């Protein structure tokens, strides 16, 4: 019995030493890094979507490019910047739209009104869920929960004018006194 115990203790000591050596040679990954790695490995992107990593060693900061193939924003190219905190998956990533867009749920500073980015976030949601949520927001803008009230009012009251303004903004032009850069691919 004593010999068995000493063998177990020796194996434990050997494992502890090898762990110490490994931790000195490589950084320990945080829970957020491990989860984001899993989310990225399991991504199932729609065909009109790309992911870019400005720094391949930093998986917590990346960009998504969405190019809707239908709806008001068809043929546009929209860039979303994702910043994942160390609190992920218990906290949602911070997502900003870097493409200035005339949209009821995206303001001119790029803030996005999407429930799963705020109050409806749950740790079971993934980056894939967010990408599909953003894609849906471009396909079906929600005038009932606006950040850009002017665009929401137009969508509710005059869909044709809203559509013309979206198209004008995507081609590059002014809506009122705000200039939008061209974002049609």
Convert the pLDDT of each residue in 146-170 to its tens digit: 999 999 999 999 999 999 999 999 9
Q: Map out the domains of the chain with their CATH numbers.
A: 43-180 (3.10.110.10)
pLDDT of residue 3: 46
pLDDT of residue 2: 42
pLDDT at residue 83 above 60?
Answer: yes
pLDDT of residue 29: 82
Is-contact 135 49, C-beta < 8 A? yes
pLDDT at residue 37 above 50?
Answer: yes
Is-contact 163 72, C-beta < 8 A? yes
pLDDT of residue 59: 95
Q: What would the two tokens of residue 72 be? A: 């008001």
DSSP strands (E only) in the chain: 49-52, 61-66, 78-83, 94-97, 173-175, 178-180
Convert the pLDDT of each residue in 39-62 to its tens digit: 999 999 988 999 999 999 999 999
Is-contact 49 131, C-beta < 8 A? yes
Averaged pLDDT, 66-81: 97
Q: What would the two tokens of residue 18 be? A: 């090898």
> Of the residues 49, 97, 113, 183, which is catalytic?
113
pLDDT of residue 10: 54
Look up 113 and say whether it is catalytic: yes
pLDDT of residue 16: 56
């Amino acid at each position: 019995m004593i010999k068995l115990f000493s063998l177990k203790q020796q194996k434990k000591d050997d494992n502890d030493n090898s762990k110490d050596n490994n931790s000195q040679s490589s950084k320990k990954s945080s829970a957020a890094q491990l989860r984001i790695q899993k989310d990225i490995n399991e991504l199932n992107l729609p065909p009109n979507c790309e992911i870019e990593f400005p720094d391949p060693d930093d998986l917590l900061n990346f960009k998504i490019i969405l190019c809707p193939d239908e709806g008001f924003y068809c043929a546009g190219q929209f860039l979303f910047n994702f910043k994942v905190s160390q609190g992920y998956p218990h906290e949602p990533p911070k997502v900003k739209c870097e493409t200035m867009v005339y949209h009821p749920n995206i303001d001119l500073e790029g803030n996005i009104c999407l429930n799963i980015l705020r109050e409806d976030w749950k740790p079971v949601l993934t980056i894939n869920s967010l990408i599909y949520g953003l894609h849906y927001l471009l396909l079906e803008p929600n005038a009932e929960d606006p950040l850009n009230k002017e665009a929401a009012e137009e969508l509710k009251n005059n869909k044709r004018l809203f559509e013309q303004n979206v198209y004008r903004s995507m081609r590059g032009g002014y809506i009122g006194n705000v200039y939008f850069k061209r974002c049609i691919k």
